[in-house]
Every structure is written in C-alpha cells, then in structure tokens.
Chain A
C-alpha cells in the first residue's frame, strides 16, 4: 500500500508491522510445536499396544486409503450426512489453500500473495467463498441433528453425554467462527478497496453481498480486516491444538488408520500363536516350542496374558482405532444387540479404550473421561489403582451380547474394528478368568467330549445318512407322464 502518511507515523506503522510479523512467526512456531508435542504423546500411547505386523501390500493399502479415507466411500451409505460431511471436508481441504496464503502473508508482510496466480486466484477465492457459506449451512444442519429435542438416534446414547456431547458442539462452533472470520476479512478488505477505488484481486461472490452492512470507514474497515485475518489464523492455531483432546483428531489420524486397517476377510479372527505352540506340543511330544522372544537388550520379555484386560494388551492398531473414532455411532446404530436394547454399544467400547489409554498413560490437554450413569451397569470399581479397561470401563455383559456379525466393522467410515477388541476381551475372560457364562462352558465341554457343541453322542454323527433316498430324475421328469401309476 503506498503510504501518504506523515513520515513519523509511517515509521511507527513499519514498526508495528514488524512486530506483527514477529508475533505471527512466534505464534506459528508455538502452534506447530505444541501440536507436534501432543502428537508425540498420542503416538506413544498407541505404541503401548501389542506388536502387529501391518507392513506390505502398499498398492492395496494405497487404493483403500484413496477410496475410504480421501474418497469417503463408506460415508455414502447414508446420503444426507454424507453430503453435509462432504461440504465440510472439501471446505477444509480447499480453504487450507487460503490458510497457506495467510501464513505466507503473515511471515513476509505480503498482501494476498497468491493473487499472482491471476485467474486461478479468482476461481480459488470464489470457490472458497461458496464453500465457506456451504460449510456454515452444513454445520447448522449438523447442530440441528444433534441438539434438537429428538436428535438423530445414533447421536445420542449413554456414552454421548457430558464431554463427548460438548466436544461435538465445540467443533461446530469453532467451524462457524472460522468461517465468520474469513468472511469478515474478505468483506472488509473488499469494501476498503472499493472506498479507495482500487481493485482487490480475487472474486468474492459472498463477501460482495455483505459489503453493504459494513461501515464506510477506512480505519474501522482496516481494523475489521485485521481482526478477521488474525481470528481466522489464531483460530486455526487453537483448533489445531484442540484436536488431540477431541474426536476431531480424526481429520488427521483416520488416514493412517485406514491405511493400516485389515486386508483379510472380516470373518477371519486372529490366531494366537503362543497357543498354537502349546497345542502342537500337546499333540506331538517331539515338537520343539520356539524360545520366547527377547527384548532388544537380550532380557526375557514378560509372558503376555491371553486376550486383553487392559489397553496395552490390545494390538496397536486397535489403540489407533480409538483415536480415529468420530463418535458418529454408525456402528452402534447397526449393532443387532444394541438395536434390541442390550447393553452393548461398539462405539462405547472404542471410546472407553481411548479414555482408559489417556487415563493410564499420556493425557491430552483437555481430558474429561466419560462417566456413566447406573444404566451402564458398571461393577462398582472401588480399587481405582487396579481398575482396567475390562473391569473398570467395559463390562462382561456388553462383551457377551456380541453376535460377531461384523455389522459395526462394515459400517465404520474410517475402518475401525470394534469386533477385534471385543474378542480380545472375551479371550481374557475365558482363558485367564474362566469367566464365561455357564451355558458357554457347557458348550465348551460338549465340544471337548463329543466333538460337537451339543450333547450328542459322537457315534450318532453319521446317522443322518441312514435311509436316504432320491427320486429317479429320469422317471420323475421326462418319463413321468407316460408311466402309468400302479
């Protein structure tokens, strides 16, 4: 901007400008530094889990990530939320180009740096503005779906009160504030240029409608433009550092989560190798059980429990699942047990896993673990020091209600697998605590004694083949009408 101000005032402005750049630079470094520090803590939490080899198959994983994560393929099973979410998602991706410009402008004192792109910049700004308006509409719709008297069924539930409920709304409010800041900045900038008879690079279909309601006062407009600019970018810095405390962290971690999700059929349950060695040794005395793995320093690793009692007994992928969960409840809404009023909610198990992980290991900046009312039927945990995922948060009643039907797995837009966690905890109940329901213990002993889950004698197994007859096809079809009945 050419300066026609008094030299002294001009020097002062140059100084405040310099100060602005410095503050911006420090904020930028602080925001990303704090975020990196938080991400490291999350990474450490995830690595608490058991080893699981998810390497290889890069082409297949790339394709899946492209379809499910970038392409949001599984969201489109339900069209209304899919389109609303698509607006916010595309808005997030495209408006980030403008954030890049803000960062460049903030660091180097340029004004709308990307305007050097010319007509591309016009198209970009116009797209941004339209997307921004659509984001506000979508967010309003999201808010209504959650907060009306009868919310969408999957957006309520025992696990979706207190902090998770507030968290969902905070995300929506922040998104509206960010969009409002963007429009304030553009409208003020546009009007400022109009008053000066200058051309502002870019095309602003929404802001050009709003210039009428802005004051025709240059210095006030300048302040408004700065307020918009600063609130947008500071808002983004704050939001970035809010993510690790929020379900909104999915915007980052759902990509690796989908990448590392299973490629094998959903019906295939994991094999417990330590048991394989035991069984082989039982069946063949000459079988040599391989020595247990040792730690990198050569010391023996403590034998692992069968199944999962606490978070560190779960594979790391299932812990990453917990950080990818958006708490959308698609899993719970299709769960046959939940649908018919049982205690099981796959979403709760995933949320409990994250809560427990953050309670036991690294906590995020804002940490409000879910507290359930009596309807969750928790066993009273008096000994908090010895509370675990299984005994402190997830109850056996939830686990035993699962039909292992994979509906939750199929429904999850970011490929979370609640079924694996459920089975790991069932394994702990059965193999470590012998705490299966009695009827299942009867079934186990039937299999052991009779080779069938029911109490039938093994010698009757082939009785079905007795007196088995078939009609002669040739007589029955072609020849049938001619053969006279006797």
Chain B
C-alpha cells in the first residue's frame, strides 16, 4: 500500500464561504496564532483538522479573518490592545452567529471563554483535549488502526491555562489513557504542575536574570520521571544539573505530551538542550490521537 493510493486531500471549510452559502457550522475551530504560524504547531493544527474531517463533524475556521485573541497583550498589562483585539474578533464571530468554538490553544481557550463575555462575546468554548475526550468516549475515534503506543512511556505536562486556570486536568489524561500507553505522572502535576515558563507573555521576552531557565527545570523533571531516575528527581530544585543521570527505564521512545503551543515550544527546546531529542519526543494530544487512528498522510 503506498500512501498515494489511500490519501485524500482535505479542503478546510472557511466561515466566509459557508456564510455566503447561508450555511452555519456546528463548531468553529479557532486555530490561534501559534497554530497558524508556528511551524511545529502547524502540525498540530493539521492533525486536529484530520480528526475533525475523519469524524465528519460540520466545522469551519475563520481563516484570514482570525486575529490574535489579545491574550499575550492582556497578560503583559496592555489592556487597551487586548480589548481592541477582543472586540475585533467578537465583531467577526458575532457577525457569523458563532455559538460553539473548539481550540487547541489553552490561552485562546481561556481568553475567549472567560474574558470575551464581558465584552459581548458569549460562546460555548471547549479545549481540544475535552473535545478529543468526548470523541473517544462516544466511540467516534477508536484510537486504533494506526501507530501503536502500547507500553510506551508517556508523561503529561499540564498547561497552566488549562489546569489551574480552568480546572481541566482529567480530559487530557483520559485521552492518553485511551492510547493504552504507560502513563507516568510527574511529581508536580495537575494543580501542582510546574509552568513551562512561557505564560504571562514570557514567550516573547528573555527571562529575568536567575539561576536557571524554567523550561530546563521542567524538562529535567519530565526526563527524570520518564527514566525513573530517582536521584535526578531528588536533585531538582532550581539548580542547573550537569548530567542526565540514567534511570531504570530507557528513554528511547518516551513521549512528553502537551496540550498547548507554548508548552510545546518550551518542552521541545528543553529536550534539545538536554540533547535527548533523538530519544524523547514532544507531542500534542491531537498528534498522538491522529497517529493512533492512522489518519496521518
């Protein structure tokens, strides 16, 4: 079987076209700036669209009409710029009569869900981890027929804007559990999860002077958890450690699962910094589900 024989092109439905045909989608997929521009996260966007297409849901994207939600501006204190962005997006979405939104970015999710209502944008917003969990629970996605993750060691890194900010801890774990992988939890997880270091507009600036980068601290914790290196875990505490002390588990094939574009960047950079990129991969939930479902092409 060659891929050419079985692959099929997806034309992503755009809201403006649907509106011109007087149609309305069941759900709007909010792509987000990272999902649209960041080379790594574009792969997540494409994986998620494959899933949407695969389950046959009636969806659409805003395409060129989408603009930054304003999250980084608001976290950095630029309330004026945030509200300009928010109202522009709300005008667009209300114009199309959008009711329900799914997004793969916890920052977009938090902003649209929690901060747009005060400015006139009231929608049902769900994060793609919850959306994927629902698809799996409903049996629309069987997570079978593709790559097998059985027995592979996966640790999930909680995104602050999904977890503490919005109390979503179980949906991403349920999705991973469906992969039948060997799920290991970091000591700092769920409500006690350690930030990747990118939130609050840190993504766009150098960190303040300190002993260590936050993403290195978090990556070391993830690697030590995956390898089971008790000594390395005990040594964590904001101090740069020189070596990767080995644990009982071979890191080869291990996965750090994320659900946020900024966590993706920070954890991937951390793994590279620790020179483990040939052994440990960082994947978003949507990529894992699409691979397991065998719909990547």
Query: Interface of A with B (CB < 8 Å)?
Result: 77, 264-269, 271-272, 275-276, 278-280, 282-283, 306-307, 334, 336-337, 339-344, 397, 400-407, 409-410, 423, 425-431, 436-437, 439-440, 442-444, 447-448, 451-454, 456, 458-465, 467-473, 475-478, 480, 483, 485-486
Contact = CB atoms under 8 A, between A and B. Distances in A.
A459 B36 CA distance: 11
Given A430-B77, A453-B33, A468-B46, A269 B115 contact: yes
A283 to B, nearest CB: 6
Nearest to B198: A403
Given A336-B214, A454-B33, A471 B2 contact: no
B80 A431 contact: yes
Given A271-B115, A464-B45, A439 B206 contact: yes
B68 A452 contact: yes
Nearest to B75: A404
A340 B238 contact: yes
14 contacts: A267-B114, A268-B110, A339-B214, A340-B210, A341-B210, A342-B210, A431-B80, A447-B81, A452-B33, A456-B37, A465-B12, A471-B3, A471-B7, A475-B6
Contact of B200 (A282, A404, A454): A404
Interface string B67-101: 11010111111111101110110010000000000
B31 A464 contact: yes
Interface of B: 1-3, 5-12, 14, 31, 33, 35-38, 42, 45-46, 49-50, 53-54, 61, 63-64, 66-68, 70, 72-81, 83-85, 87-88, 91, 110, 113-115, 118-119, 144-146, 160-161, 164-167, 191-195, 197-214, 217-218, 237-238, 293-297
B78 A444 contact: yes
B282 to A, nearest CB: 18
A454 B203 CA distance: 10
Contacts of A465: 10-12, 46, 49, 61, 63
A397 B1 CA distance: 58
Nearest to B214: A336
Given A405-B164, A469-B297, A334 B204 contact: no
A286 B72 CA distance: 30
Contacts of A429: 77
Nearest to B35: A464
B9 A469 contact: yes
Contacts of B53: 470
Contacts of A276: 83, 118-119
A452 to B, nearest CB: 4
Contacts of B38: 454
Contact of A265 (B70, B85, B114): B114
A279 B145 contact: no
Contacts of A405: 160, 164, 195, 199-200
Contacts of B64: 458-459, 461-462
A444 B72 CA distance: 8
Given A468-B49, A470-B295, A283 B87 contact: yes
A448 B166 contact: no
